[in-house]
Structure 1
Amino acid sequence: MTIARAWLGTPYHDQASLKGVGCDCLGLARGVWREVVGPEPFPIPPYSRDWGETGPREVLAEGARAMMIEVPPADAPPGALVLFRMDSRAIAKHVGILTGPDRFLHAYERLGVIEELLTPSWARKITFAFLFPSH
């Protein structure tokens, strides 16, 4: 959690991943990956900010599944990466990192990287959970 919390206060910047300079939710996860695991295994292609995006594939989950250890969301421990489905008809497009049983860290437009309560509303949106691999 110390590594992830070091990103607190980083301003929001779409598709960026620089601690203290700017990141979005995926950029936060990418930055934590670099600090915990090492270099990113592949470049991230440009992506839309649309939380309502629909489609036949869970692109974000598929990418995480290729590099991380998937666990049931109900069993995700602190430190797990969680993916949120912000609209019930959409694919999962928001990323956070659990920091406790009832808290998580994420990058939010206009607020930057924040830690907040995992309220029932947020918890219901968790669709996938992954553990960072050991290095």
Structure 2
Amino acid sequence: MEETSQTAPARIVKAARRWIGTPYHDQASVRGVGCDCLGLLRGVWRDVIGPEPMPVPPYSRDWGETGPVEVLAEAARAAMQELDVVEARTGDVILFRMRAGAIAKHVGILSGTARSARSHFIHAYERTGVIEEHLSPAWQRRIAFAFRFPVR
């Protein structure tokens, strides 16, 4: 049975919530064992879509990294549909620019509408592991890109 766009977001969020409590581990992607924010996205992709669309090269943990190329956003564009940030909804992927002038280096999955007072997102964060938390104004200010998983 083909999944509709209405059921895809619920499936994505359900898959992401299964990762809650996974400890933080840089560049890992093993549910219950360890992952970073990209590892969470990779794991949800495997759970919902199937094999990862491309290998992930090693990357730095530096949220202040600058450069002419938005590496994470470019990789996301190759596999997902880019959205205007205001169009992001439950189940969509959001990329954060953690410092002014830096490239986007943090990833989360919306578990509510991006610009709603009740919005939440799921992400892996150092010292907390995978959590679901309120998408506060401080987080909202940092959203740089939004993407939608392909419907399968």
TM-score norm. by structure 1 comes to 0.98
The one-letter code of the counterpart of 1:44 is: V
| Residue 70 (structure 1) aligned with residue 87 (structure 2) | no
Q: 1:23 aligns with which of 28, 35, 41?
A: 35
Cα distance in structure 2, aligned partners of 1:75 and 1:14: 30
Root-mean-square deviation (CA, aligned residues, Å) is 0.6
| Residue 118 (structure 1) aligned with residue 135 (structure 2) | yes
| Structure with greater Cα Rg | 2
Q: CA deviation at 1:32?
A: 0.3
Q: CA deviation at 1:134?
A: 1.5
Please list every run of 5 or more consecutive structure 2 residues that lacks an aligned counterpart in the other structure: 1-12, 114-118
Cα distance in structure 2, aligned partners of 1:42 and 1:73: 24
Q: What's the secondary structure of 1:78's corresponding residue? A: coil
Cα distance in structure 2, aligned partners of 1:6 and 1:33: 13
Cα distance in structure 2, aligned partners of 1:41 and 1:107: 21
Cα distance in structure 2, aligned partners of 1:96 and 1:24: 10
Please list every run of 5 or more consecutive structure 1 residues that lacks an aligned counterpart in the other structure: none
How is 1:33-44 mapped onto 2 (pairs within 5 angstroms)?
Answer: 33-44=45-56
Q: 1:80 aligns with which of 88, 92, 97?
A: 92
Cα distance in structure 2, aligned partners of 1:83 and 1:93: 7
Identity %: 67
Q: Name segments (4+ residues, structure 1) moved above 3 Å.
A: none
Instruction: Tell me which protein shows more strand as a share of its residues.
Output: 1
Deviation string 1:4-33 (CA, Å, 9 cap, x unpaired) is 100000000000001111000000000000
Aligned match of 2:71: 59
Q: CA deviation at 1:41?
A: 1.5
Q: CA deviation at 1:127?
A: 0.5
Q: CA deviation at 1:88?
A: 1.1
Cα distance in structure 2, aligned partners of 1:74 and 1:121: 16
TM-score norm. by structure 2 comes to 0.88
Q: CA deviation at 1:43?
A: 1.0
Deviation string 1:66-120 (CA, Å, 9 cap, x unpaired) is 0001111111010000000000110000000000131000000011000100001
Aligned match of 2:147: 130
